[in-house]
């Protein structure tokens, strides 16, 4: 019998999504018996037969979308706003398309064998979070790129590699934060940045320097501080700033957790509220609204980053190497937005 009906027509007759039709006909993943029967009946009625090649190809699939998580010892990974929002975005897209998420944890002693994950059919596609600019990571990513596997890196840029990457524009985001502090009349603006292995730390540094320059301010090495994105590292940074507090008008922190740590740290050091510098955080997490004073912050569309990365990888998985995506720009940068609250305005 010749397949004259389209997948779309089968979906309409059965009253299900096209993705569900594919999953039933390709026998991918668990499905309700009732749904199966509806789809099979509709396919039969319309004389729809997918090609056996497509079917056997599809049978090799796991039905899993991999998400690579960073190794952070003892950290409560899912509790960080950053990861939980991105994962929620990825999860919602995966669920829509009938895929399950496989969370892959990096070893403390190295990166994952991404290629092996595909080879052993644990995953059909992959989204990589918390990648660092390090040789082992780059090697593993080049390997799957050269194999033509569908994958996307979130929030990390590898120059000249042609990976699919989805990120927010952290240079502009940081520029927005520092520009705002300068407009509030501050001149001596300290910067608490994250670790330099992340490209987004470099982006933030560039935005900070650019805003200073535009206003004719000098970059001052004694106003640079480093944390690891934890609240604790913000508390520690505050302790280090106390001795030079007369030389600091305002602070830009690379995420909200560190910014909240700064607020807390200054109080622990006995600094009166009116002497605590103006502070702008980054991420605009749930906590920013709840802290006292409420924290100004740079809103990053994490949920959308996850959604877009998942959409692209799922699309590549569906299309294979013929994907039109391959002709699109490979780097997507979403805009950020400054949210001003009491911590940086009178």
Query: What does the binding site for its own copies look like in residue numbers (CB under 8 A)?
Result: 29-32, 62-64, 69, 74, 76-79, 81, 83-85, 87-88, 91-92, 94-95, 100-105, 107, 109-110, 112-113, 116-117, 120, 122, 260, 286-287, 290-292, 303
Give the bridge partners for 331, in sequence order.
Answer: 165
Residue whose structure tokens are 């509030």: 184
Instruction: Tell me the sheet residues that pair with 67.
Output: 103, 127
CB 71 within 8 A of CB 103: no
Residue 166 buriedness (CB in 10 A; 0-12 / 13-18 / 19+): buried
Query: Least CB distance from residue 72 to its own copies, whole Å?
Result: 10
Q: Residue 218 CB, nearest distance to its own copies (Å)?
A: 36
Residue closer to its own copies, measured from CB, 114 or 252? 114
Residue number, 57 or 78, with CB nearest to its own copies: 78
State the nearest-atom distance from the C-beta of 255 to its own copies, in Å.
Answer: 14
For its own copies, the closer of residues 9 and 113 by Cβ is: 113
CB of 84 to its own copies, least distance (A): 4
Minimum distance, C-beta of residue 232 to its own copies, in the bound complex (Å): 14
- 106: nearest Cα among 119, 117, 94, 120: 117
148 torsion bin: left (phi>0), alpha (psi -120 to 50), beta (else): left
* Closest approach of its own copies to the CB of residue 297, in Å: 14
Give 214 or 286: the residue with its C-beta nearer to its own copies. 286
* Closer residue to its own copies, CB minimum distance, 120 or 326: 120
In the bound complex, what is the minimum distance in angstroms from residue 344's beta carbon to its own copies?
18
In the complex with its own copies, which residue's Cβ is closer, 116 or 196? 116
Which residue, 88 or 331, is less far from its own copies as judged by CB? 88
């Amino acid at each position: 019998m010749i397949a004259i009906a389209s997948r779309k027509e089968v979906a309409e007759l059965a009253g299900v999504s096209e993705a569900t039709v594919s999953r039933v006909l390709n026998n991918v993943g668990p499905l309700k018996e009732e749904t199966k029967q509806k789809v099979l009946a509709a396919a039969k009625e319309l004389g729809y037969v997918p090609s056996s090649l497509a079917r056997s190809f599809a049978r090799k699939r796991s039905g899993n979308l991999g998400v690579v998580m960073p190794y952070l010892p003892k950290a409560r990974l899912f509790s960080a706003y950053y990861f939980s929002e991105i994962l929620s975005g990825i999860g919602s897209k995966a669920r829509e398309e009938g895929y399950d998420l496989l969370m892959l944890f990096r070893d403390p002693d190295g990166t994952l064998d991404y290629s092996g994950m595909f080879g052993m059919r644990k995953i059909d596609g992959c989204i990589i979070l918390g990648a660092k600019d390090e040789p082992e990571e780059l090697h593993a990513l080049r390997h799957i790129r050269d194999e033509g596997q569908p994958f996307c890196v979130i929030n990390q840029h590898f120059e000249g590699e042609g990976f699919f990457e989805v990120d927010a524009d952290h240079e502009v985001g940081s520029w927005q934060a520092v520009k705002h502090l300068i407009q509030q009349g501050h001149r001596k603006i300290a910067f608490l940045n994250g670790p330099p292995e992340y490209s987004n730390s470099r982006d933030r540094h560039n935005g900070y320097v650019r805003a200073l320059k535009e206003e004719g301010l000098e970059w001052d090495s004694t106003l640079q501080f480093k944390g690891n994105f934890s609240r604790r590292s913000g508390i520690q940074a505050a302790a280090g700033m106390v001795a030079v507090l007369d030389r600091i008008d305002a602070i830009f922190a690379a995420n909200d957790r560190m910014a909240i740590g700064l607020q807390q740290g200054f109080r622990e050091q006995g600094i009166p509220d009116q002497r605590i510098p103006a502070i702008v955080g980054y991420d605009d997490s749930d906590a920013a609204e709840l802290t006292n004073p409420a924290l100004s912050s740079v809103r990053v569309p994490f949920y959308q980053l996850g959604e877009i990365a998942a959409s692209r990888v799922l699309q590549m998985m569906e299309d294979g190497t013929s994907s039109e995506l391959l002709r699109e720009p490979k780097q997507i940068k979403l805009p950020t937005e400054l949210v001003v609250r009491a911590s940086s305005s009178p």
